[in-house]
Amino acid sequence: MNVLIWILTFIATFCFMEFMAWFTHKYIMHGFLWSLHKDHHHKNHGSWWERNDLFFVFYAVVSIGSIMLHDPITFFVGEPIGFGILAYGIAYFFVHDIFIHQRFKIFRNANHWYAKGVRRAHKIHHKHQGKNKGKCFGMLFVPFKYFRS
pLDDT at site 74: 58
- If one counts the domains in the chain, the total is 1
Predicted confidence at residue 87, as pLDDT, reads 97
Q: For residue 50, is it within any domain? A: yes
Domain range holding 82?
Answer: 3-109
How large a percentage of the chain has pLDDT more than 90? 21
pLDDT computed for residue 69 by the predictor: 83
According to the model, what pLDDT value does residue 60 have? 93
Q: Is residue 46 part of a domain?
A: yes
Nearest C-alpha neighbor of 20 from the set 52, 57, 59: 59
Q: Taking Cα atoms as reference points, which of 87, 111, 84, 107 lies closest to residue 97?
A: 107
In terms of average pLDDT, the best of 31-35, 49-53, 94-98, 102-106 is: 31-35
In a domain, 132, yes or no: no
Q: Using alpha carbons only, what angle is made at residue 147 by residues 20 and 102, rounded to the nearest 5 degrees?
A: 65
State the pTM of this model: 0.80
**What's the pLDDT band for 89 if we cut at 50, 70, 90?**
very high
